[in-house]
A and B are shown apart, each in its own frame.
Chain A
Amino acid sequence: MLLLQNARIASENSPVLVESDVLIVEGKIQDIGKSLTIPEGARVIDARGRVLMPAMFDAHVHFRAPGFENKETITTGSEAAINGGITGVVMMPNTRPALDSATSVATVLDNAKRKARIPVYTSGCVTKDRQGKELAEIEGMRTLGVKMLTDDGDTTSDPAVLLRAMQYATEFGMFFASHCEVPELAGPRALNEGVMSYRLGIKGSPACAEEIIIDRDIRLARAAGAHVHIQHVSSKLGMETIRWWKSRGDVKVTAEVAPHHLLFTDEHIGDYDTNYKMNPPLRTQADCDALLEGLIEGVFDLIATDHAPHTPFEKAQDFISAPNGITGLDTALVSLYHFFVEPGKFGWDLVVKRYSAEPRRLMGLPVPTIEVGQQAECVLFDTDAETTFTREFMKSKSQNTPFIDQTLKGRVDLVILGTEILLER
């Protein structure tokens, strides 16, 4: 039994935080109200000034297992999620072996049940071994609960293959998540083509490499009657393309944006800092501004981190040799608060809607709320405290993030999932 007193409750439906006591009994919210009587034996937490919100859900993470356990495991990845206030994730299937069959998916889900303290879901490949040629074992994966199909990390290059997959899998109620990139245009380096790529002397990846596939995959989904989810959009025109298709209303399209694409530009790469090397690449301030506009407007249904761990040894190479990607789970909520909520760019309602409710709706999962009768799946967030992202603080096995050793405003104090307190600071 847990009584949180005077918490400021956030919901997706209102920008106003409502101050109230919340009583949790046996993992369920039993009562909400002003000055609730303290039941006998209840633990009381003074939550005055702190925000109580439904816990986050990240629909785009790389946990690297099986195959790259030196970078991350299901255990360390899910602990990083908890550390950031996240109580559910969807893994991407670019593991080794790739998750392209019922057998490989079953192994991951079994591991997750044993090794993670939160639900870990996985997506499955569109094509066998992500090669873009033969269809993966789609129905076999569906029987294990896979809903999202993606060759994430690579685009399914051949549009005919993707169209056939869409026609086939839509019948099973599955949807497609698209990593958007024309490989022939993007080249091997993850740096936006522009002033910075010229100055650094690195072959850039033009934004059109991404925008072409965004448009292509939505058109394919429309032709197949499928649902397509556009992953980690990085460019202004990409956002505008999705906005236009959504306004037509004749195709089911959802989209996500990652915190790093809202926050950083190619100029942050500076002196070849590999912590800013990611795919799709960081673009310009105009792109960041447009992505924020798209998030507020609802062009982007959800925020997802694309949590992409790599070992320090790999990231310590030169910019061209280093792998793409940064971690995001430990830092996501605090960075969203520090850079957007605290300065008033958007409210808590947007955070709850885009980072808790919508990703679960995308996956067809129940959406937690702070309401009587609901399962307790919530986070207590201190807006006055600070978090310093030291190496010790991070729970991810890899710590390739620009936030390392930075102090930002806000702190995840408590993470509750049902009867369990997953984290308490």
Chain B
Amino acid sequence: MARKDLLDIASLHREEIEFLLDQSTSFKKLFTRSVKKIPALEGKSVLMLFYEASTRTHSSFEVAAKRLSAEVTNFDVDHSSITKGESVRETIETLQAMRTDYIVVRHGHSGLPGMIARQTTASVINAGDGAHEHPTQALLDAFTIKEKFPDPRGKKVLIIGDILHSRVARSTSTLLQKLGVEVAYLGPGSLVPKYGPTTIPRFTDYQAAMAWKPDIVYLLRVQMERQDVQFFPNVREYHRVYGITNARLAEIRDRGLYIMHPGPVNRGVELCDAVMDYERSLITNQVENGISIRMAVLDWLTPGGEFPKQESYIARQQASSTAILP
């Protein structure tokens, strides 16, 4: 099934996910060659539209596009007419006129990539929108987990931290559940909302969460910039209560658990320095896998055609329900 855009994980079917993960495996094999480039997107243009700061995601998409031989343009938001008060909609109209093939967009407002997708013929890839979704992060997380657990069904991933503001938590947990992985949340009561998905156990106590016996501990970045009010007293207390301290790392090592983190890491907050040298830390694997996943996504999407319509939530739920494993 061809798709124009990748906006979220929620609407992806299991077959599509499996396809992308398989493709990513093939693309990753290229990395060992001396010439890492293939002509899959030769003559195509990719526009990078990043309204929010990003190092990893931005460079990962750029490398992925270039390895597929696409032409990459960086839209410089800081020096565009946006600073003169031009609305996103006007920007999109301008970009549509330029006939770019792919738009990779990151924005602080949830749902904005969907709005862009409905107004252009370009394939739109959501590279993170507010606290909504970050689908390629979820795909690279799943790919990284599958490298360690080829059949991840029944494995357990404990996601720790600011669930409320995290697009990573939303996308990754949705995707992992579609692959049959069990997911639980741990974090301060102010950051793990009680109205989150009912299929995900919610812990506020570290020991109770460890008694759930996770295979992977996935730490989220504490995003101070998204917190307009205080959600916990201070980072020292956060580290003590929810972080991977030296003592907790020893226990994790004994149990042989894997550690993941979407980056960038706040050292001394989510985790102690020693985690970076822990042999079962998958943090650098995640970064590396980001490139092959994004190559797979760019290669898979089909620009052009009609603008997609705005779908109702109910219709979207019905369409994606078949993708959820029993």
Contact = CB atoms under 8 A, between A and B. Distances in A.
Contact of B314 (A193, A194, A198, A267): A267
A319 B109 contact: yes
A223 interface: no
Interface stretch (B12-20, B95-103, B126-134, B256-264): B126-134
Please tell me the size bucket of the interface on B: 20 to 34
B230 interface: no
Interface string B80-117: 00000001110000000000000000010111101100
Contacts of B133: 201
A369 to B, nearest CB: 42
B310 A270 contact: yes
Given A200-B132, A202-B131, A272 B196 contact: no
| Residue of B131, B133, B167 with highest tally of chain A CB at under 10 A | B131
B304 interface: no
A269 B130 CA distance: 17
A267 B10 CA distance: 15
Given A201-B131, A319-B111, A321-B109, A270 B195 contact: no
Contacts of B228: 187
Interface residues of A, number: 26
A195 B195 contact: yes
Given A268-B312, A317-B88, A198 B109 contact: no
A317 B91 CA distance: 12
A316 interface: yes
B89 A271 contact: no
B195 A194 contact: yes
A318 B316 contact: no
A271 B316 contact: yes
A198 B107 CA distance: 18
A137 B71 CA distance: 64
Contacts of B313: 196, 267-271
Contact of A320 (B109, B311, B314): B109
B88 A198 contact: no
B170 interface: yes
Nearest to B112: A318
Nearest to B133: A201
Nearest to A192: B195
A273 interface: yes
B311 A318 contact: no
Given A195-B195, A201-B110, A318-B107, 13 more contacts: A193-B195, A196-B313, A201-B130, A201-B167, A202-B130, A202-B131, A268-B312, A271-B114, A273-B312, A318-B88, A318-B109, A320-B111, A320-B112
A320 B130 contact: yes
A319 B110 contact: yes
Contacts of B129: 201
Interface in A248-274: 267-273
21 contacts: A193-B195, A195-B195, A201-B110, A201-B111, A201-B132, A202-B110, A202-B131, A269-B313, A270-B310, A270-B311, A270-B313, A270-B315, A271-B313, A272-B114, A272-B310, A317-B88, A319-B109, A319-B110, A319-B111, A320-B110, A321-B88
B222 to A, nearest CB: 17
A195 B170 CA distance: 12
| Residue of A200, A201, A203, A273 with highest tally of chain B CB at under 10 A | A201
Contacts of B87: 317, 321
Contact of B110 (A268, A272, A313): A272
A268 B317 CA distance: 12
B196 A198 contact: yes
B299 to A, nearest CB: 26
A198 B193 CA distance: 8
| Residue of A200, A268, A313, A317 with highest tally of chain B CB at under 10 A | A200
Contact of B312 (A203, A271, A313, A317): A271
Nearest to A269: B313
A196 B197 CA distance: 10
A321 B228 CA distance: 17
Contacts of B316: 270-271
B178 to A, nearest CB: 15
A417 to B, nearest CB: 39
A201 B223 CA distance: 14
Given A201-B167, A317-B88, A271 B110 contact: no
Contact of A271 (B111, B170, B196, B197): B111
B195 A272 contact: no
